[in-house]
Amino acid sequence: MGASVLRPDGALKVSGEFAYSSDLWLDGMLWGATLRSPHPSAWIRSIDIGPALAMPGVYAVLTHEDVPGEKFYGLENKDQPVLAIDQVRYQGEPVALVAADHPETARRAADAIVVTYGEREAVTDPRVALERRMLVRHQPVRVGSTFSADVVVTGEYEVGMQDQAFLGPESGLAVPAEDGGVDLYIATQWLHVDQGQVAPCLGLPPEKVRLTLAGVGGAFGAREDLSMQIHASMLALRTGKPVKMVYGREESFFGHVHRHPAWMRYEHGATLDGRLVYVKAEILLDGGAYTSSSPAVVGNAASLGVGPYEVDNVHIDAYGTFTNNPPCGAMRGFGAVQACYAYESQMDRLAAACGLTPVEIRIRNAVSQGSRLATGQVVDTPAPLAEMLRDLDAMPLPESVSRDLRDLPGGVGQTTHGDGVRRGVGYGVGIKNICFSEGFDDYSTARVRVELLGGEPHVLVHTAAAEVGQGLVIIQAQIARTELGIDHVTVAPADTQVGSSGSSSASRQSYVTGGAVKTACEAVRERIEKDGRPLEVILQDGPIEETREYRHRRTFPMDPVTGQGDSHTQLALCVHRAVVDVDVELGLVKVVELAAVQDVGKILNPLALEGQIHGGTAQGLGLALMEEIQVRDGKVLNPSFTDYLIPTILDMPPMQLKILENPDPNAPYGLRGAGEPPTLSSTPAIAAAVRNATGLPLSRVPIRPQDIALA
């Protein structure tokens, strides 16, 4: 524990040898394809599958009529049809399925299906949806009654629709089983919640839908909702053959939910010396066509809407809307990202209004252990935000403007040799809830078995927890080695043959599945200690196996009127400083350096942890400067990596990191989830740095070149 043990999948992924879900193969398998709606909102008048069925090589063409069980599924509400029934509510909604002996044939057959649509008005402006009360959730927060102050700053902010942009598109293989069930090999974030949604739609009991995790090429929230799981299973059960489905890149943009775009209005009141008196906020998050995880996203935006600051008077309304835009749901940071961009922008405005530095205004209002959040929840574990900010501020600043094109705004595009380039520095602070909140029964299960193999004790760790690239497999092995003192540890493939581990989401797996593995190991150790004989002798009687569930502290719902409640179990902080060079004439930005301080409670694997902080920071950089799904009238304009830009190595600068270890006594080893917090704070830090360089208000991310150049 605490060592940079290399993960088993690392070298394979770098060398291109790792087997992803898209590499799955069985002889005789068929290929599935999906026909999707071209319209954001329409009635379906008729579907003619005849032309598709007539094509050679086509084995099955299925519509909603062929769904064997329940017709609807969903993470929080079962409101999403497996296949559209009488209407479509977003562009890209699945309408029909094809299985054929070749992927190209399947796609062409899908195109041959004739669907007659009756287009109708699409509601694509969430402000209109709010007026019409088309709401998935409204969560107020009400504290205190003083809403006037000596210094008042207001601002309206907008966050574009970000995509998780994982590299491995949705894919999996469904294999019909002799018992009438199906074995599904799938890249997902939570096997059991998939099983719980797939089985009813197939009309099967859960035990007949067995899932095994296939190689996952990134997730970031986009694999929380189902994509092709039910579809491939339906095709496999209908044809009696294994069916593989792999989305292409363009289809992937329609095949998963995105980060909610947000429109936010904030008002901060403070004393003349910069101490917060009140915060008022309206946060509008567009959830698109279906519920997905919007309710929980809205909950986070509300409960964390003022950020990690002490303020006695709070008036927040957070709304999630239904529209005919692409469905939005989970993405790294989960509702806390959007609010963080707005409240941090406000803190900078407040600093300017009070004549304070950005660091000083934050230190004056920073939470610490014992502070009360806007929800009334007391921060009962270390939260050394002021110290973190001082540490960050003390880090050395990078050198002056470089002359190498690769270090200048515009890169090798050579738009400047230094002409028009100004440097800016900005700060951002974020607070993120770790693990599921608001009363969710959030647990994980681990089975640990010790046995003799070749005369030596071996440990087998079995959980259903999804390795999505975050490095969980090696963490589980490290925990088992540490707890049992046995070198040979194997982590079994994740599947549904063991109890649920919950989702690889909310930065929770080291905490919850780590806790489950630790607890199961302790149970095994207890048996060994009680026995008293040497381990090798005990194991000659047979293996020792223990299965344990692990739960974090209970959380409670937010009051629907006041937002009050101990809704979170753990809170994590990250602070960023961004240094940018901006070509103020052309509006191009080069991020020169990002520095971060994060408190993780306990470092389990330094290399993996730094990777998480770098990656989260990069994803925040993407949101600040380039990543946006452009939607017009409900239609996606840029469903490709040609036009949906994510940062390259020339965009992501070197980082200075300082990682603190102030343990959380409630968590295993005192650890604190680490994957999400850096995604929150890097975006506002970069936006602030660009403001600092340009003097422009820049109230929208991503910041586009024209926002600077034509301001």
Partner 1 sequence: MDFLRPLTWAEALEMKAERPDATPIQGGTDVMVEINLDKGRPTALLDLAAVAELAEWTRDNGTVRLGAGVSYTRLIAELAGDLPGLAQASRTVGSPQIRNRGTVAGNLGAASPAGDSHPPLLATGAEVEAESVRGSRMIAITDFYRGVKRNALEPDELIRAVRIPVATGPQYFSKIGTRNAMVIAVSSFAIAFDGRRVGTGIGSAAPTPRRAPEAEAFLESALDWSGPLDADVARRFGELVRDAAAPIDDVRGTRDYRLHSLAVMARRTLTWAWEDHLRCA
Place of tokens 């040979």: 488
- Looking at beta carbons only, is 258 or 280 nearer to partner 1? 258
Short-list 495, 144, 83, 163, CA closest to 328: 163
Burial letters 102-138, b for 16+ CB under 10 A, else e: ebebbbbbbebbebebeeeebbbebeebbeeebebbe
Among 144, 150, 630, 654, binds partner 1 (CB under 8 A): 630
Among 645, 655, 657, 659, binds partner 1 (CB under 8 A): 645
Adjacent-strand bridge partners of 320: 137, 285
Output the smallest distance, CB 667 to partner 1, in A: 38
Output the smallest distance, CB 700 to partner 1, in A: 14
- Is-contact 429 482, C-beta < 8 A? no
Q: Which stretch binds partner 1 (CB under 8 A): 369-377, 410-418, 453-461, 469-477?
A: 410-418
Sequence-ordered strand ranges (E) for 435-474 = 443-453, 456-462
Among 215, 218, 409, 668, binds partner 1 (CB under 8 A): 409
> Angle at Cα 525 formed by Cα 521 and Cα 526, nearest 5°?
120
Q: Which stretch binds partner 1 (CB under 8 A): 319-327, 565-573, 581-589, 596-604?
A: 581-589
Separation CA 334–CA 506 (nearest Å): 8
- Looking at beta carbons only, is 112 or 475 nearer to partner 1? 112
Q: Which stretch binds partner 1 (CB under 8 A): 92-100, 127-135, 402-410, 459-467?
A: 402-410
Single-letter amino acid code for the residue at 105? T
Output the smallest distance, CB 51 to partner 1, in A: 18
Residue 673 sits in the site that holds partner 1 (CB under 8 A): no
Separation CA 302–CA 339 (nearest Å): 8
Short-list 82, 106, 103, CA closest to 94: 82
Output the smallest distance, CB 655 to partner 1, in A: 17
**Under DSSP, is residue 473 helix (H, G, I), strand (E, B) or coil?**
helix
Q: Which stretch binds partner 1 (CB under 8 A): 362-370, 414-422, 451-459, 551-559?
A: 414-422
- Looking at beta carbons only, is 110 or 367 nearer to partner 1? 110
Q: Which stretch binds partner 1 (CB under 8 A): 10-18, 145-153, 552-560, 641-649?
A: 641-649
Looking at residues 103 to 122 of the shown chain, list those that interact with partner 1 (rule: CB under 8 A). 107
- Looking at beta carbons only, is 221 or 409 nearer to partner 1? 409
Output the smallest distance, CB 641 to partner 1, in A: 9
Residue 416 sits in the site that holds partner 1 (CB under 8 A): yes
Contacts of 709 (CB under 8 A, 6+ apart): 584, 585, 586, 587
- Is-contact 313 147, C-beta < 8 A? yes
- Looking at beta carbons only, is 248 or 663 nearer to partner 1? 248
Single-letter amino acid code for the residue at 507? S
- Looking at beta carbons only, is 110 or 301 nearer to partner 1? 110
Number of other residues whose CB lies within 10 A of the CB of residue 650: 12
Backbone angles phi, psi at 112, to 5 degrees: -80, -15
- Looking at beta carbons only, is 237 or 631 nearer to partner 1? 631
Contacts of 31 (CB under 8 A, 6+ apart): 99, 100, 101, 102, 103, 105, 106, 243, 244, 245, 246
Strands 209-213 and 182-186, by their bridges, are parallel
Residue 36 sits in the site that holds partner 1 (CB under 8 A): no
Structure tokens at 565: 């409640």
Among 42, 586, 603, 687, binds partner 1 (CB under 8 A): 586
Residue 250 sits in the site that holds partner 1 (CB under 8 A): yes
Among 411, 557, 611, 663, binds partner 1 (CB under 8 A): 411
Short-list 688, 686, 684, 694, CA closest to 587: 694
Separation CA 275–CA 266 (nearest Å): 16
Residue 507 sits in the site that holds partner 1 (CB under 8 A): no
Structure tokens at 227: 């994509």
Among 87, 357, 415, 490, binds partner 1 (CB under 8 A): 415
Output the smallest distance, CB 59 to partner 1, in A: 21
Please, what sign has the CA dihedral across residues 253, 254, 255, 258? positive
Looking at residues 179 to 198 of the shown chain, list those that interact with partner 1 (rule: CB under 8 A). none
Output the smallest distance, CB 190 to partner 1, in A: 31
DSSP 190: B
Among 45, 102, 127, 417, binds partner 1 (CB under 8 A): 417
Q: Which stretch binds partner 1 (CB under 8 A): 41-49, 412-420, 516-524, 526-534?
A: 412-420
Residue 3 sits in the site that holds partner 1 (CB under 8 A): no
Output the smallest distance, CB 552 to partner 1, in A: 39
Estimate the share of the chain in helix, then strand, then coil, as percent rounded to the nearest 5.
30, 30, 45
Separation CA 406–CA 411 (nearest Å): 5
Separation CA 550–CA 511 (nearest Å): 9
Residue 587 sits in the site that holds partner 1 (CB under 8 A): yes
Looking at residues 327 to 366 of the shown chain, list those that interact with partner 1 (rule: CB under 8 A). none
Residue 414 sits in the site that holds partner 1 (CB under 8 A): yes
Separation CA 362–CA 588 (nearest Å): 28
Q: Which stretch binds partner 1 (CB under 8 A): 313-321, 555-563, 642-650, 673-681?
A: 642-650
Contacts of 504 (CB under 8 A, 6+ apart): 189, 190, 219, 465, 466, 467, 468, 470, 472
Among 120, 127, 132, 406, binds partner 1 (CB under 8 A): 406
Output the smallest distance, CB 653 to partner 1, in A: 10
- Looking at beta carbons only, is 281 or 646 nearer to partner 1? 646
- Looking at beta carbons only, is 584 or 604 nearer to partner 1? 584
Residue 258 sits in the site that holds partner 1 (CB under 8 A): no
Among 180, 413, 493, 654, binds partner 1 (CB under 8 A): 413
Output the smallest distance, CB 617 to partner 1, in A: 16
Short-list 125, 23, 136, 19, CA closest to 76: 136
Output the smallest distance, CB 625 to partner 1, in A: 8
Separation CA 653–CA 579 (nearest Å): 10
Peptide bond into 702 cis (omega under 30): yes
Residue 145 sits in the site that holds partner 1 (CB under 8 A): no
- Looking at beta carbons only, is 225 or 581 nearer to partner 1? 581
Residue 400 sits in the site that holds partner 1 (CB under 8 A): no
Output the smallest distance, CB 106 to partner 1, in A: 12
Looking at residues 61 to 100 of the shown chain, list those that interact with partner 1 (rule: CB under 8 A). none
Output the smallest distance, CB 650 to partner 1, in A: 4
For partner 1, the binding residues (CB under 8 A) are 107, 248, 250, 406, 409-417, 419-420, 585-588, 590, 625-626, 630, 637-638, 640, 642-643, 645, 647-651, 704-706, 709-710
